[in-house]
Chain A
Amino acid sequence: MPMRTPFYEIHKSLNAKIVDFHGWEMPLQYSGIIDEHANVRKNVGLFDVSHMGRFKIKGPNAYDAIQNLVTNDISKLNDGHGLYSPMCYESGGIVDDVIVYRINKEDFLLVVNASNREKDFQWVIQHSQSSKIENVSDEIALLAIQGPLARNAMQEISESNLELLRPFDLISGDIFQTDCMISRTGYTGEDGFEIFFDSSRVEIWNKIMQSASRFNIKPSGLGCRDTLRLEAGLMLYGNDMDENTTPLEVPLKWTVKLEKEFIGKMALLNGKVNRKLVGFEMLERRIARHGNEVLVDGSKAGFVTSGSFSPTLKKSIGFCFVSLQVELNQLIEIDIEGKLYKARVCSTRFYKRN
C-alpha cells in the first residue's frame, strides 16, 4: 500500500502530478518544476515534507545515545537548537543524514529522511541505551516555508517573533490556534522555516496559502525541492551518499568531530579516502543522471550521483565522484547512454543567496 501524507487530498485537489517517492505518493509538481523553483528563489514556496521521519528520544541516557550515534558534536547544542549530522555504521558508511534538535538535556527530536524511516528507527532503538524512543512521524505533520519572503509569510501566520530565530533554532509557538514547533531550517538554499504540528490539522495548508497570498506563495513539489537543493550544494541520501559512502568522501567533513566518540569513528580514522564528490557543469546539451560514468583522460574515474538542470543558472549541472587528483576546472567526460559529453569540474555550491 502506498503511503500518503495528511495533505494528499489537498495535493490531488491542486492537480499536482503525483509520483512514487520511496513508497510515498508525493506531489512532484503543481504549476511546473521551473516555475516553482523560480518562485522559491524569488518569493516563497510551501512544501509538504510530512513524509520525513520524526523520532523523539527521551530520558537520562538520551544525550549520550545521540552523541554516540551522530558524527557531529551535540555537546555545544543549547536547548531549542539543532544541528545537521550524518549517522554512521561501524564501517564508516552513512546510515542517514539527520537533524538533531535538543528540546532539553533529556528530550531530543530527530528528523530523518523519508526513505530511511524504518531503517533509522531500528538503528536508533538498537543504540538507544535504554532511552525512550517514540516514532511520532505519523502524528506530526511537517510543512516547509522557503524563500526570501519566508519570514514575511511566517509573520502573517505566527505571533512568535521569528526575527530572533537563528538558523537551526527551534521554538514552540502556535499557528491558527494550534500548538506547533517552528525551526529555521530548509533544503533549498534560501531562508526558510519548517513547522511541526498535529497531523489532524490539515486545514493549516490552506490557511497558510491564504494568509501569505500577497507574498505570491505557491505550492511547491519534490521536483523543485531536488533542483533547489542541487543548486545549493546539498547532498541527497540515496543519490549522493549511502551505506557505502563515508562523510569524508562527500563535502561533509565539517560534520565529523574526531575529538569525540561515535559509531564509525575508528573506520573513519583508519580508512583511506580515495575519491571525492565534486560539482560539474555540462559543456554540452544533455542532462547527466545518477549512475552515468565519469571519465578523465579516457579512463573511468567515477560516476554521477545527481544531475539536473539548474533553472537559476540555465545550465546542466550535477555532482559526481572522481579520484582525488582531479582538480577544479578540469575537463571531464560523462558517458550518457554510450555517448561521451564534455563537462567541467566546479564547486558543489552552484548557488549562494545574497
Chain B
Amino acid sequence: MENDKSVVAEEFRFSKEHEWVTIREGLAVIGISDFAQKQLGDIVSIELPKIGNEYRQMQEMAIVDSIKASSDIYCPISGKVVEINEDLLEHPEWLNQSSYELGWMVKIKPSNINEFENLMTKAEYDNFVGKIK
C-alpha cells in the first residue's frame, strides 16, 4: 500500500528507525513510515506506552508485531506521552493501510522542540531508504 500522498500537506520528519513525527497544536504526533510498514508486512498487534510515560529521544517506547517479526518502536523526539491511539490496539492493520493518518500511535508533549529540526526531512528520508533498498 502506498500512503505517501498524505505526507505532502504537512511537514513530516523521520528518524533513522523509520518513525515519523509531525507537530500539531504544539504536540508531536508519531507513527511509523510507509517504508517501515511495507518491510514488516501484515501487522497483527501493537503495544503502546502508558500516558504520562516520559522518553528521551530514540528510547524504545512501543512494540509492533507483524506475522514474521517483532520490532521496537523508538520515540523520535523527547517528551511526555499525552495521548495514545487506543483504536489502533483493535485495528493494528491501520498501520499497514494508513500509516500516516489512522495509524498514528502516540502524541508527545516535546521537551525540546529543536530535536524535530534535526530529524530527516521527507526528501532526506526517501534518499535514506533508497540506499537501504
Are A309 and B41 touching (Cβ within 8 A)? no
Q: Min CB distance, B96 to chain A, in Å?
A: 8
- Contacting pair A34 B45 (CB below 8 A): no
Is B41 touching A17 in the complex (CB atoms < 8 A)?
A: yes
Question: A29-B41, A33-B41, A316-B45 in contact; A285/B67 too (CB < 8 A)?
Answer: no
| Extra inter-chain contacts (8) besides given A285-B89, A286-B63, CB under 8 Å | A17-B41, A28-B68, A32-B42, A33-B68, A223-B67, A285-B46, A287-B67, A309-B45
Main secondary structure of the interface of B (DSSP, over half): strand
Contact A309 B47 (CB under 8 A): no
Contact of A223 among B44, B65, B68 (CB under 8 A): B68
Q: Is the CB of A286 within 8 A of B47?
A: yes
Please name the residue on chain B nearest to A337 by beta carbon: B70
A binding-site residues for B, Cβ under 8 Å: 17, 28-29, 32-34, 223, 227, 285-287, 289, 308-309, 316, 336-337
Kindly provide the distance from the CB of B67 to the nearest chain A CB, expressed in whole angstroms.
5
> For chain B, which range describes its interface: under 10, 10 to 19, 20 to 34, or 35 or more residues?
10 to 19
Q: What are 6 A-B pairs with beta-carbon distances under 8 A?
A: A17-B41, A32-B42, A33-B41, A286-B45, A286-B65, A309-B65
Knowing A33-B67, A308-B67, A309-B67, the reply to whether A287 touches B41 (Cβ < 8 A) is no
A351 to chain B, nearest CB (A): 16
Complex Cα distance, B14 from A88, in Å, reads 53
Measured between beta carbons, the chain B residues less than 8 angstroms from A287 are 44-45, 65, 67, 70
A289 to B68, CA, bound (A): 9
A-B pairs with the 3 shortest C-beta distances? A309-B44, A287-B65, A285-B45
Is the Cβ of A34 less than 8 Å from the Cβ of B42?
Answer: yes
Inter-chain contacts of B67 with A (CB < 8 A): 33-34, 223, 227, 287, 308-309
Cα–Cα distance between A28 and B65 once the two chains are bound (Å):
17
B86 to chain A, nearest CB (A): 12
A285 to B45, CA, bound (A): 6
Chain B residues with CB below 8 A from A32, complex form: 41-42
